[in-house]
């Protein structure tokens, strides 16, 4: 998992997905509600695992490579 926040130039726009798109790619255990819960619990960090567009109440975009790396780190 990255130890520091990603810089805007480091992010491939194709790797930023909505909550519904992440659920479609990763399936069970990654519903929009589960992802929001992991954000609220601090498991996913803003600037590493997810980004908000439009302020606090804006759209959440998930950085899929960071989520997959987090899954690998947990299971190893």
- Blockwise average pLDDT, block size 10, the chain, 76 residues: 59 84 92 94 92 82 89 76
pLDDT at residue 10 in the model: 67
pLDDT at residue 3 in the model: 56
Q: Based on the structure, what is the number of domains in the chain?
A: 1
CA atoms within 13 A on the CB side of 75: 6
Residue 5 lies in a domain: no
14: how many CB neighbours lie within 10 A of its CB? 7
pLDDT at residue 71 in the model: 79
Residue 56 lies in a domain: yes
pLDDT at residue 24 in the model: 95
Residue 3 lies in a domain: no
Residue 4 lies in a domain: no
Under 8 Å between Cβ of 11 and 75: no
User: At 66, which CATH number?
Assistant: 1.10.1660.60
């Amino acid at each position: 998992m990255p130890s520091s926040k990603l810089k805007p130039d480091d992010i491939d726009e194709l790797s930023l997905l909505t909550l519904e798109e992440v659920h479609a790619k990763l399936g069970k255990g990654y519903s929009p509600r589960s992802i929001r819960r992991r954000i609220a619990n601090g498991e996913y960090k803003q600037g590493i695992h997810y980004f908000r567009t439009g302020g606090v109440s804006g759209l959440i975009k998930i950085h899929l490579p960071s989520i997959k790396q987090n899954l690998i780190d947990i299971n190893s």
